[in-house]
Structure 1
Amino acid sequence: MSFIEEMTWRGMVHDIMPGTEEMLNKERVTGYIGFDPTADSLHIGNLVQIMTLVHFQRAGHKPIALVGGATGMVGDPSGKSAERNLLDTDTLQHNLTCVKAQLEKFLDFSDPENGAEMANNYDWFKDFNFLDFIRDVGKHISINYMLAKDSVKSRLETGMSFTEFTYQLVQGYDFYHLWKNKNCKLQLGGSDQWGNIVTGTELIRRKESGEAFAMTTPLIKKADGTKFGKTAGGSVWLDREKTSPYKFYQYWINASDEDAANFIRIFTLKSKEEIEAIEAEHKEAPHLRVLQKALASDITERVHSKEDVDAAIEASQILFMKGDEAVQAFKNLSEQMFNDIFDGVPQGEVAKSEFDGGIDIIALLAEKSGFLASNGEARRALKENSVSVNRAKVKMDAKVTSSDLIAGKYLLLQRGKKNNFVVKAV
């Protein structure tokens, strides 16, 4: 299957310049996508473009991942309502190093024929002075052409700096430089980048009478209207320190059926036949969430590891365990996994030394932790047999000791099935 055929059935083609498919079908093409280095990790919004390069390389073409060391200092107005903060050189260099390491997990940089390359536009902009730029680049693109771009028009009323206004010229020159020096004929990107991309093809045409091509992917949206890649805690990152593998897995496992059917096409390498078989199985028993599990396992393993997938599945299952099995599983939880599972659950702190001699359960539930409002409420709950410590039911005369602390630090208190509270020993 050709690159365009592959991208089309996966629903990943938005705009494509005439002649692009014909060129791709007749020769090995070098193409590039730019990545924003304003953070030290990519997030799942970037995965669309990462997967675009993966498919591009699998189809036999040569991908270039351009990290914008120079453009990161300027700021892209596309899709933005306000100008973003500019970064200093040291911060940008740290971010570039981290982003490169993440891209290397997806792309093959070793193939002698079509191995991926990294490029940093700071390399060709660092010695490019302003007068040379406006003489050699700026004169080829008219103000009228630049003002017609949606990314500019949407900002004219609220205000836009000259710095951001010129961004499309800087990105356009990136394409020209790669075309001139790397024989790069295609730029790929999200649909919000179309205006910047065609500025590059226009610059190549006007400056050198050359020919270059463009293709964009749709911006990913969730069926319920909420923003893809965002949670209550913010962006879903590829860096495990910013988004743990468990939370990463949970993002995909919680996708709606409609979203999961879309995401599994975009974010996995499963074939059309494989995906249709998974969908058929899911349709037979939707409550088993076969589609979501296939999606979450595949993408978590590629971003993190098989061990992380197994740990995330095990942690997810713990929440549904009952009796002795649940109690034993809780005892073995790591601190990281405990925090991941119960992130956002109300917490209280109790001095660790108090657990050494054992804390009376009534005192722990009320005055010590603040979980329940009073000793009287604690007694009523215990009489109802509705109180659990680390998923084990407790009685009125129970004492909780340091040996009960998960990872030497935590307790999970429960009243009924849904009222949870974390005690942290400090």
Structure 2
Amino acid sequence: MHDIRLIRDDPETFDAALAKRGFEPTSSAIVALDAKRRAVATEMQAAQGRRNEASKAIGQAMGAGNSATAEALKAEVAQLKTRLPELEEQDRALGTELDALLASIPNLPADDVPVGSDEAENVEVSRWGEPRTFDFAPKEHADIGPALGMDFETGAAISGARFTFLKGGMARLHRAIAQFMFDRQTGENGYLECAPPLLVRSESLYGTGQLPKFSEDNFRTTDDRWLIPTAEVSLTNAVREQILDEGVFPLRMTALTPCFRSEAGAAGKDTRGFIRQHQFEKVELVSICRPEEAQAEHDHMVASAEGVLQALDLPYRKVLLCTGDMGFGARKTFDLEVWLPGQGAYREISSISWCGDFQARRMDARYRPEGEKKTAFVHTLNGSGLAVGRTLVAVLENYQQADGSVTIPPILRPYMGGMETLQPLA
């Protein structure tokens, strides 16, 4: 959500920032609607004041024996009682229309975000690790996975496309990766372990920006709740409609949860394999902080995700997303893309975003700066630390052996009961 005062005071800057994201100018429509709503509110306040004033004057006129004046005042009050509900309804309707317009507009990009139309114009910032040299042609995970317990056919038979049934050592490796990442974020990187709800109300999805624009990307239940597309929704909304004490900042939270996405906008993409599923697990990182802490928190969150890849010895690159590839609520986003030798390409495994006060305004999440009477909106950040399924894919492809087995990364072996290799199922 955007600050209407900033749009009103500097519409040209607002439109220029939106143009970087490929959006048409909207400030004139917003300012016009806001002016109309404010005019109605002013008239409504004046009518309420006059009604109160005239009501008192009726008694005074009657006490003075001035019945003509009293009757005139009664007629005026009756007219105001009829007019006020009309004004109140106009005020509500205009407020709803203005909120809907503001809610449809994405966050404004930070000044250092590159301008571009799509992922082709993202900017590579750095690389870590050297891709392994194989003495055989490396395969994609979808080719080596089935023999190891990655059962696509059973998953599809049970639930349809984009579902997978993991078995045996494959299921244990998936669990080991999740637990290792979760332990690292809680034990080393200062994130508070949380176990949030997986079903949320519409207000929660609105707060983090998934509604109303992206309703088709999410699964809705029969009792009007939603399955979370990411634990970002639950964790970030933990501070909704609150005024936080400065002593809690930065408030770092993490959760390991199932996530559910309809993938409505991904028709035809990654239909083969384990990359893009309707149900998957993810270690989510969320930080709530003061505006002046946001840059440091963004750096910390990126480093927390990078540390997992480095511990697993998975080559990756860090990419700064351009304006055309950023998420709706993001002000600035770094993607981490892991090397997949089977595909011969880097693929996204984590997206880490600073949202500014965009989500906080939608949730009404504030704090009171020390020495100030007025409250201010917090800043929110979120990112993957990491997506479990995609990390499993990266381990399978990078640690595959010529005989079809997969070497277990040393850091994961304690979570695997000492197992050193993942062998094909008998």
Pairwise TM-score range, normalised by the shorter structure:
under 0.3
Normalized per residue, the structure richer in strand is 2
Greater relative CO (CA pairs within 8 A, separation 6+): 2
TM-score (norm 2): 0.21
> What TM-score do the two structures reach when normalised by structure 1?
0.21
